[in-house]
Structure 1
Amino acid sequence: MIFWAIIGTLTALSLLVLIKPLAKKAESAPADTAESDLAVYKDQLTEIDKDLKAGNIAEAQAEIARIEIQRRILNAGQEQSATTKGQPLSPNTMKGLLACLIVIFPIAGLSLYMYLGQPGIPGMPLAERDITAERMAIAQQQNDQRNQEMMGLAEKLRARLENEPQNLEGWMLLGSTYAEIGQFSLAEKVFRQAMENNPPNPMIYSALGEMMVAQAEGQVSSDALELFRKTLELDPRDPRGLFYSGLALTQAGANEDALKIWLTLRTYTSAADPWLPILDSQIVELAKQEQMNPGKLLASYPPQEAAEQQETAQSGPSAEDMAAAAELSATERTEMINGMVERLAERLSETPDDLKGWIQLARSYHTLGRSADVLEAIKGAEIAAEKQPNVQEAKEEIQKLKQELGL
């Protein structure tokens, strides 16, 4: 009710502003400016004659001034012949115009509001608002804006890579960018292009297969499984190849075989690798289905280099922690994974001579598809290798890592 009272008041004030000038009675018609101009010019001619008699100007100057004024008089006379004097509106016409404005103006404003506005929505006090939903909407808007920016950068990168078909690092970075913003079909096309223009590479095969699984909502098709098979032929320890091969077995009902593959993968995995919580959650779930003890099973297949990590104060999640991770939500697991990688990177900034730490970080970035970060981690490993007791052995380990990652 208050809302409509305010609207009515504003409408009345608007009409008052419009109608007040029209309601005044016209006292006279508009002035004829041409006649006043002629009178001025005649006075100027008289003044010239007076100045000439008084000796203030010469005859020649007076003649020039007369000619100029006569020209202006001629022009003013032509304008006067074309001038139409204004006539005020009749009282009946004025009343009709005012009545039309009074009726049409509010109706037009109300119709526009009913068409463009939402008058049926009630006011919502703060206590009744869904703050969580509003925050999620804001976060989604920010995420969409970020995705649009990343899409723009990706398109620029793609345009540059069209002239560099064998730039493997660039194509992998582009595909990973598309995957990160959920454009799995575009990522698949990019990885296929990388596969067509480069030698066989396990990193390409596994990335392409993963995009096919993502588009199939987690189902591992025969074509994707063939890509993972090629991956494992080139790199038997490839994490994605092993993980999705095990996933395909679970979908085929071969849970025991899948469990063997995943447990084998766990022994190849470092405690700092970001995919370890995801792998363990799958192992725990499958072990429960097979009526096995998840905690003992995980303890029997510890992550790679766990003892060395404990000696260097690089403590990773325990078997019990991994079992507990299976109970976390997807968001919590993602935060846990990102936190592990960031903590490892922060630790290495303080202990840059830790060669094994750099190798672990490179593998983690590789699994996340962060190609640029993989190269930075390898650079850190190469610097650390120069400070190892056996430099040649350290360099051979780095070279082996590059072959493993397809670099």
Structure 2
Amino acid sequence: MLFVIIFIITIISIFYIFQNIKYRNYLQNKSGKLKSPQLLFVILAIFIFFLSSSIYYKIGNPFINMEKLNASKLKLIQSENKKNSMFFKDLKKFNELLSKSKTDPKDLNILLNLASTASKINKTEVEISSLKKILSIKSTPKLKSLLAQAMVKKADGQVTSKAQNLINQALIEDPFDPGANFLNGLAQSQIGNEEEAFKIWVDLYKITKNTDTWKNDLEVNIRSAAKNLGISNKVLENKFKTNLDYKNSITQDILNSTEENQKIKIDQMVAQLADRLTKSKQDLDGWLKLFRSYKVLNNREKALDAIKVAIEISPDNIALKQMLLKELLPPSVKPNFTSEVKNIIAEILILDSTNIDALFFQGLNAFTEGNNKLATRSWNKLLSKLPKNSPMRLELSKKLQSIEGKN
């Protein structure tokens, strides 16, 4: 409407001016110099028309619908009020959980809820300390991944060496952990290895569901890496296609088969992986996958063989040695300290003299053999690494007291 009004006013102005100067000689010479103010006015009117039209084209209709504006403003206010309400609710919950954690510092549910709530209200220090306490009681790849994420958040998005160590451990124990994979890609990107970052993120995207909270951030990172690598949008869109195709005949066969047939098919797939690895013995990821596959199939002996090969490939990898140590000393069975177990404990302590698992088992082995001096030294060193009132600390304190009572 405004565009039409501008156009009509301009045309009327031009027509009026031309009618008034029609019979006048407004050019005083043939050089093209303008002497008539009327001609200047015509040119100015045309200029204003095009300028006004351009502005209108750029900014659109300046007449704002006030009802829509007020509705949007109200919606924004309601959204802010909701956020503030949630924040104060989480803050109240945080203070309650913090108080409970001081009363009962070894309650895993309280610590987990405290870490989760602390994350929501950006109390990163408390989140990190809570996750560390949980890890001292119960170690899982998911917890290591969460702790690494908190550390990265504290470092303003930078993957620190401590976070990278946790990421590596989590991926060894669970190569499909989404948080660890996301951060692993980020770490590669930050050291300039965009190609590896792109590969990691695309592989993660293939197993990501639409409901997963990290999906949007993952897409942004993939697009950024693709841009840096010069990958076209067409190629990129193909990468965004999901990897799991339920219409695929192999997938459908496994899903529709009986439990017995499923096990047979899985056994066949594991056998194929094992056969492939005999031809590529340096494939660390492959041997770790084989180790986990045998664990799922409850084939302990073959699982041990697979993890031992992985250690041969990466002999300085502490996390691999810890995995083997835990396999050889399962918590449900009375520990059997063979020469192999003792060697693994010694190797871990050479690489990391404060390793919790190795110090614990070194002390336990010494205690069972009556070497109270070594047991005391190992466990006292371990106590300095454990949080106060952790179950392991309390148990070790009792054992140390019993040793002192004998002396």
Pick the structure with greater CA Rg.
1
Task: Answer yes or no: same fold by TM over 0.5.
Answer: no
TM-score by length of 1: 0.41
Which has the bigger relative contact order, CA under 8 A and spacing at least 6? 1
